[in-house]
Amino acid sequence: MQTDQRNYLIITCCYWVFTLTDGAIRMLVVLYFHRLGYSPFEVAMLFLFYEFFGIVTNLIGGWLATRMGLNLTMHIGMALQIVALLMLAVPESWLAVAYVMFAQALSGIAKDLNKMSAKTGVKMLVNVKNDSRLFSWVTMLTGSKNALKGVGFFLGSALLEFVGFQNAMFTLAGALLAALISSMLHLPRGLGKIETQPKFLRIFSNTPSIKGLSLARFFLFGARDIWFVVGLPLFLFSTLDWHFSRVGAFLALWLIVYGIIQSSAPLFLKKNHHGRGPSGKTAQLWAGILVLIPASIALALQQGLEANRVIIVGLILFGAVFAINSAVHSYLVVAWSEPDKVAMNLGFYYMANAGGRLTGTVLSGWIYQTQGLVACLWGSTVFVLIAALIPLRAPRKTQG
């Protein structure tokens, strides 16, 4: 195996372990603090700093990676996640809102440092000859991440039910520590570091194509999280009377299938002939299809149809189409970036992604608490519609 591919696989494995802990923490926090009596909006606010510092981290993370190296930014992210896990593994009386928000802030920084490092590695470490192969590598990494995040959802709910909140945190911290030590022993120093150090203000000097794609990403992921992050799990738990492990297993299965579909996006799209990948118009088309799904779920619930069936079928359809959307977006930001700018472009792009998640998370808690899940779904519909209407054009160097 070539050295670059070996390094890429090490980074990917670390990304997978990190993703398991990230998915588990999210499910643990949502369910545990709801059980303690927190309102839906209060639960959403626990993720406020998680998403906000994700925005900040993405803004400067790509710039840091070009100066420090991808392996160092990834290791810092893993170490911060271990600290965040151990902070939450304290007696229940210590878990005040401000304390949990600070721990979640560290977790948000950690997550986005790790994600930026792994996805930048695709362009820097994998030798691809055409757009379709690049599309396959990007979707494989992103899809496997989402599938493992689904496993993390189930892992978190199962650990909560069988070993408790504090023991779950110790277990996750131990697994991540083992991955961190292994990575530090096997990855070379300075991976991804470039000789010409970019100025900080170049973070904001992205091309119109990257800015448009980032704006579309903001609304796309805001649309998902408006109903998925707080509203949906609490609706399943409180309204449909599902127990913890069932909620976790269902959302885990959804994310696993979502990840599989995302990894298989090149097969679904069938636009890889002659080395060509999807275009901006592909992203707009699939966003237009996605608009119909949350609207249909909301209408079905308003008509009084059986909620269990509507949610299960609707969520499967939403996940399948959303996976194609996300895969196309993840490919385009890599394909439209020059090799020496990919880390900074990804940082800017995922800053918008984190901003959409932050907006969606806060709206999910507030809208669900005040108006219910149907209103969350209509909010999702509006956000997807905006994403579909944003024009996406490749930079001139990559057109044709």
CA dihedral 280, 285, 291, 294 (to 10 degrees): -90
**How much of the chain, in percent, has pLDDT values that exceed 70?**
77
Q: Tens digit of pLDDT for each residue in 348-394?
A: 787 888 888 889 988 988 898 889 899 999 999 999 999 999 887 76
Query: What's the pLDDT at 223?
Result: 92
Domains and CATH numbers, the chain: 3-188+198-398 (1.20.1250.20)
CA angle 336, 338, 341 (to 5 degrees): 110
The Cα 167–Cα 159 span in angstroms is 8
> What value does the mean pLDDT take over residues 280-289?
88
The Cα 339–Cα 336 span in angstroms is 10
DSSP-assigned letter for residue 398: G
**In this structure, are residues 138 and 122 in contact, taking their beta carbons and an 8 Å threshold?**
yes
Give the chain's radius of gyration (CA, Å): 20
Average pLDDT, rounded, for the chain? 79
Q: Tens digit of pLDDT for each residue in 130-177?
A: 555 666 666 666 667 777 787 888 888 888 888 888 899 999 999 999
Highest average pLDDT, of 66-70, 75-79, 338-342, comes from: 75-79
